[in-house]
Structure 1
Amino acid sequence: MSDGSVQYQQRQPAVPVLHEQRPEEALGAVPERGRWTYRPRRVGMVWRSKVFRAGTVIVALALCGLVILALVREQTGPEGFLVGLGLAVLPVPLLMAAFRWLDRVEPGPWRNLIFSFAWGACAAALVAIIANSFAMRWIATATADPTSADTLGATVIAPVVEESAKAVSVLLIFIFRRREFRGVVDGIVVAGFTATGFAFTENILYLGNAFDEDQQLGSSGIASVTAGTFFVRIVMSPFAHPLFTVLTGLGFGFAAISARHHRVRRIALPVLGLLFAMGLHALWNGSSAFGPYGFYAVYGMVMVPVFALVTWLAVWWRRRELRTLAAELPAYATAGWLTPAEPLALSSMRTRGVARDLARHWHGRQDRSRGRA
């Protein structure tokens, strides 16, 4: 190699120097079809990070939880808060287990369900307690009648505010976790977890206030306000809030299985489900205005039949998913992707359970977890 070529190589910088770049290149622009298009190299990179987004959601929900915790504790007092917390947590595992059982055919990820529960318990509850308090004070001031303000707030304001706040959780998962929101069962489960979280926080408030009232009146035992509130909210109607919000979830679930070109249907169905949820919630809250037996009439003639109908629909739809698997999987077995016995096993919940038990016995927990898919 000649000396000239060596000198030429020495003159080439190893790293491009800023002042030797074109201004467009230094600002992050790239050529596109003969013109320079500016694309900042770092803008938006942080927000695309899953860790950053997950951390932002966790921090936001944690802040909402701290605020709602302080508000509830302020209204109930320390002792009332602890009593309300201990009693309100009792139905939560049962409701979560029921919704998770319903989702056994194609279970969704736990992160969606935990987010839904946290949204209901923290964000939705915070929005509801602030908006309801503000609306009732405004109505009481405008009408100069606190009694009518309480009635109007419970039957009109609360259903609209609370169901809208809970519906946001279903909407967020429907938009940002669309691949994991596949149909009616997913809508029911996500809505159920959201409403379970909301009812948990609300029950703390009601039971804590009841205990505080008993402390002031000196009541105790079965005749106490706490016992009555526990019987109505925990024993008789633990499914009330989940039932309301499940109607919204059904709307989103039917929208999820609608064709993409049916845009009107995909928008109208969730709105219709939300309106039904608000209506049933308003009827439930206003049942006491129908006379001394209004609550029992609405409970027996409306709530129980609607609950039975929704339960039947959820179980029927799960069986429909299993029938779909039984009809479509044999083609994969014929192509050699599955063994001949696998379509039959995957289309039966009983056979799936036996397969998981055998996998756990012979191969450990890892293969058992594979059987859940």
Structure 2
Amino acid sequence: MLFDFWFTVILSITPCLLWLLYFYHQDRYDKEPPKNIAITFLLGMLSAAGALVLNTTFLLIINALLGTRDDVRSFRDLVGAAIGFFLVVGPVEELVKFLAVYIYGYRQKEFDEPVDGIVYSATAALGFAAAENCLYLLQSGNWVIALRGPLSNPGHALFSAFWGLAMSRAKAMPNIPGQRMKALFQGLLLAAFLHGLFDTVLTLSPVFGIFVFLPIFALMFGMFFYVKTEINRMVEESPHKEGTRLLGAVIPCPNCAELGITGQFCLSCGTQIIATQEQRRCPQCGAAQRPGAVFCSRCGASLLSVSSTNTPRYQPHFVCFDELGRESIACIIDRQEINIGKTLDNHFVIEDPLVSKRHARIVWDPNNGYMLVDLQSTNGTFVNGKRVMQAVLRDGFEVRFGKATFIFRLNQSR
């Protein structure tokens, strides 16, 4: 009896571990620590208990209200099952798996590149699936694993990949209240919908028999193709793939014609070297401007074609500008220390190959205010066009990390 129990447990976990190895090895450049993976997997298993209680409770309520049965015997039962899958099972199971990552993996410093969202979401989802396998195998027999191993187990990982992707997007977003949560909610909603759709179609098997697996496999293939495409894209964009790229190529200085590096200052005359295609000229005096400049360096005229109005008041923050000159919040300075870089574990994430993984830091100094400190970045930190190792930030200062340019605002957008 004891042997049968442990055999069932091992049989339940094995396919999930095999799928976990697949997703784990998609992270090519900076794999997550085994400890993080193990804890997330266990949290995923524990989350299945919460889902069991919530699913049982709410499905009983739906059956009581609609007069339907769990074992589908009529069209009415089928409608009740579909309602239960879309309104209860899908949302509940994706939510508990999401929370298993949100309370632990999402907060780890190792969650620092886009593909990590899928790695952690798949880990929690497969932990959940392993616990669910145990329950089904104990109830229905070990033969069930033949169906769950190739379908339900990877299905859980693929559903959850959508909110895993949302987690990676949220980490890279400006820390404006509500913006990150909106992205997470949208990912969670899509995962819940796909989960509900999968379970609903699977319920049709008593009616359509083996033909029901055609749409099931089509759905699985579509999700797998999308998730795999996103994984490949994110791996290529990983900040750990290569070192920080050097800023620019060697070109003649526009002032004295001596060779120098694009974006740096000429060693002969001190003029900033800008590639011809990057040069802008002031609409008032015609002077050439450095990339990202907001005001003319000669006459002080605004270089922005459009300015935003009626913007909300924020704490001190950085703003960036689009091609039309419209500004938007890039990062709110909402703590006494802000880390800046291109990996997702920074407070201010700048997705630019010229920005270092740990590029700079903003520190609050009671005597001087906000201090900007360069962390020995490859391409430097600039304040008002001058490369600095440390500088006090004032309202309206232009700050550049590599070639990513922002304006520092002390209180509100202008």
TM-score band w.r.t. shorter chain: 0.5 to 0.7
Aligned-residue offset at 1:131: 0.8
Q: Does the 8 Å contact 1:192/1:242 carry over to 2? A: yes
Residue 252 of structure 1: which of 167, 173, 182 is its match? 167
Residue of structure 1 equivalent to 2:221: 304
Q: Does the 8 Å contact 1:173/1:181 carry over to 2? A: no
Q: Does the 8 Å contact 2:105/2:111 carry over to 1? A: yes
Aligned-residue offset at 1:326: 5.2
Q: Does the 8 Å contact 2:101/2:121 carry over to 1? A: yes
Deviations 1:43-89 (A, max 9, x none): xxxxxxxxxxxxxxxxxxxxxxxxxxxxxxxxxx9787445313212
Structure in which a larger fraction of residues adopt helix: 1
Residue of structure 2 equivalent to 1:172: 103
What amino acid does structure 2 have at the position aligned with 1:107?
K
Residue of structure 2 equivalent to 1:110: 34
1:286 to 2:200 alignment: yes
Residue of structure 1 equivalent to 2:9: 85
Residue of structure 1 equivalent to 2:48: 125
Deviations 1:193-234 (A, max 9, x none): 1001000000111122112xxxxxxxxxxxxxx43x222111
Residue of structure 2 equivalent to 1:265: 179
**Percent identical residues:** 24
Aligned pairs for 1:123-202 (under 5 A) are 124-147=47-70, 148=77, 150-173=81-104, 176-177=107-108, 179-202=109-132
The alignment's TM-score, normalised by the length of structure 2, stands at 0.52
Aligned-residue offset at 1:323: 8.5
Q: Does the 8 Å contact 1:183/1:257 carry over to 2? A: no
Aligned-residue offset at 1:324: 5.7
Residue of structure 1 equivalent to 2:237: 320
Change (3 A) 1:171 1:234: same
Q: Does the 8 Å contact 2:82/2:196 carry over to 1? A: no
Q: Does the 8 Å contact 2:40/2:105 carry over to 1? A: no
Deviations 1:103-131 (A, max 9, x none): 23112223322221111101x11101111
| Whole-Å separation in 1 of the counterparts to 2:239 and 2:66 | 56
Aligned pairs for 1:88-103 (under 5 A) are 88-103=12-27
What amino acid does structure 1 have at the position aligned with 2:235?
R
Residue of structure 2 equivalent to 1:216: none
What amino acid does structure 2 have at the position aligned with 1:139?
I
Structure 1: runs of 5 or more not aligned: 1-76, 212-225, 335-373
What amino acid does structure 1 have at the position aligned with 2:56?
S
Q: Does the 8 Å contact 1:80/1:207 carry over to 2? A: no
What amino acid does structure 2 have at the position aligned with 1:257?
A
Aligned-residue offset at 1:249: 0.6
Residue of structure 2 equivalent to 1:275: 189
The alignment's TM-score, normalised by the length of structure 1, stands at 0.57
Aligned-residue offset at 1:265: 3.5
SS of equivalent to 2:215:
helix
Aligned-residue offset at 1:135: 1.5
Residue of structure 2 equivalent to 1:67: none
Structure 2: runs of 5 or more not aligned: 71-76, 249-260, 262-414
Residue of structure 2 equivalent to 1:68: none
| Whole-Å separation in 1 of the counterparts to 2:61 and 2:93 | 18
Residue 233 of structure 1: which of 135, 148, 151 is its match? 148
Q: Does the 8 Å contact 2:26/2:231 carry over to 1? A: yes
Change (3 A) 1:210 1:82: farther
Residue of structure 2 equivalent to 1:7: none
Which fold has the larger relative contact order, with Cα–Cα distance below 8 Å and residues 6 or more apart in sequence? 1
